[in-house]
Amino acid sequence: MTWQRETFKKIKQIPREEHVLPGTSLCAGCGGLESLRLAAKVLGDDVVYVNAAGCFTMLAVYPFTPFKGSWLYTTMGSAPAGAQGVRDALDVLIAKGRLPKSENLKVVVLGGDGSTYDMALSSTSGAIYRGLDFYYFCYDNEAYGNTGMQLSAATPYGARTSTSPCSLQHPFATMQEKKDIFEIWRAHKPPYIATVAPRYPLDLEEKFARAAKVTGPKLFLALSACPTGWLYDPGETPEVAKLAVETGLWPLKEAINGVVTHTYVPKLSPVETYLKLQGRFRHLFEPTLQKEAIAHIQGSVNAYWERVNLAERTG
């Protein structure tokens, strides 16, 4: 069964109005910011963004903010708890008649993979467990980006970071597999989880439109193709994001009440096409071709999609 978009069928249906205004201090070609820009077209302006320490902390720098909505910077480890406080306070103030319903806001956590995959796990787990009505937007650039690309639990096997360098002992650089945060979230049984990528705007907008109908924790994992950290030209972000999906490395999917659907089935281009574009994988190609590492990555992708095909065909 193919996934059908209901709200966003054509690119023209994406609203032209911008809610994240240009001129921020983020890097040119930031895939995370492009995902957020698209997401905000559905989220609108009646939003309070609750931010964890990361690249996006540089969005609101006194006296500027790119948002027409509100912003609260918290800490690296507790943005979901900040969302809890804001959501609960809004609910209490509205219930007590101290705030008109028309003043209500959506509460959206903005966290990078460093915060999301590790430090904020306790507060995220707690917020999902409590059924908090909020959005969680993780911009995943697969490393601690704001500090200059160090290994995070989201860094994929074979990627070079400044704290998982390529060496004689570790010719493939990062040896760990990327932590599966999607499945960690799913184990908490939230009503809505999705992965998105900026090169697939209709898929992204449709998912935010679907989530808008859901009360409870709504979690988004956004591929944040990162020219500064992944080492490619900023103009290539759309191509890198596209190949992440087309190689099958970044599956586009959603889970509604725990039931997973892949929203786009790629033809599985060879992973080299994606890896070759990025400096963080250059050591897999030169000075010697690391066939073993590339085969390992391809093998993981193949195994993943075999499981998907089995599960979703028989399911």
Partner 1 sequence: MAGEMMTGNLAAAWGARLAGADYIPAFPITPQTEIVEALAKWCESGAMAARFVTMDSEHSMMTAAGAAAATGARVFTATSSQGLLYAIEVLYSISGWRAPLVLVNVSRALAAPITLEPDHNDVLAARDSGFLQIHAETCQEVVDSVLMAYRIAEDERVMLPVIVNLDGFYLSFTREPVILPTPEQVAQFLPPFRPAHLGFKASAPHALGVAVLGGTPYSYFRHQMHLAAMNALEVHRETAAAFEQLFGRRYDVIEGYRLDDAEDVLVMSNAFASRGKVAVDAARGEGRRVGLLRLRMIRPWPADAIREALRGRRGVAVLDQNLAPGQGGILFQEIAACLYGEAVQPRALCSFIGGLGGKNLSEGEFRTIFDQTAEAAAREQGIGPILLYTEPEHREMTQLQMLATTQGDVKREP
**Cβ closer to partner 1: 48 or 245?**
48
- Can you tell me the distance from the alpha carbon of 4 to that of 142, in angstroms, rounded to the nearest whole number? 29
Partners of residue 35 on adjacent β-strands: none
* 45 is an interface residue for partner 1 by CB under 8 A: yes
- Can you tell me the distance from the alpha carbon of 40 to that of 291, in angstroms, rounded to the nearest whole number? 41
- Contact region for partner 1 (CB under 8 A) — 58-66, 109-117, 217-225, 256-264? 58-66
Q: Which two tokens stand for residue 266?
A: 């790629």
- Contact region for partner 1 (CB under 8 A) — 91-99, 110-118, 147-155, 169-177? 91-99
Q: 94 to each of 27, 80, 112, 203, how far by Cα in Å?
A: 39, 21, 31, 34
CB of 131 to partner 1, least distance (A): 11
Selected from 1, 12, 62, 313, the binder of partner 1 by CB under 8 A is 62
**Cβ closer to partner 1: 105 or 256?**
105
- Can you tell me the distance from the alpha carbon of 315 to that of 310, in angstroms, rounded to the nearest whole number? 8
**Cβ closer to partner 1: 70 or 261?**
70
Q: Which two tokens stand for residue 309?
A: 């095909």
Strand pairing class (192-196; 253-256):
antiparallel
The single-letter code of the amino acid at 60 is A
- Contact region for partner 1 (CB under 8 A) — 2-10, 62-70, 219-227, 246-254? 62-70
* 77 is an interface residue for partner 1 by CB under 8 A: yes
- Contact region for partner 1 (CB under 8 A) — 70-78, 108-116, 158-166, 240-248? 70-78
CB of 314 to partner 1, least distance (A): 37
* 23 is an interface residue for partner 1 by CB under 8 A: no
* 81 is an interface residue for partner 1 by CB under 8 A: yes
- 44: which residues sit within 8 A by CB, 6+ positions away? 19, 69, 106
- Can you tell me the distance from the alpha carbon of 112 to that of 52, in angstroms, rounded to the nearest whole number? 7
- Nearest Cα to 270, choosing from 241, 296, 247? 247
Selected from 28, 58, 303, 311, the binder of partner 1 by CB under 8 A is 58
- CA dihedral for 255, 260, 261, 264, sign (positive or negative): positive
* 91 is an interface residue for partner 1 by CB under 8 A: yes
- Contact region for partner 1 (CB under 8 A) — 96-104, 150-158, 273-281, 305-313? 96-104
Q: Which two tokens stand for residue 131?
A: 């059924």
Query: Residues in the site for partner 1, rule: CB under 8 A?
Result: 45-46, 48, 50, 57-58, 60-62, 65, 67-75, 77-86, 88-93, 96, 98-99, 102-105, 122-123, 125-126, 129-130
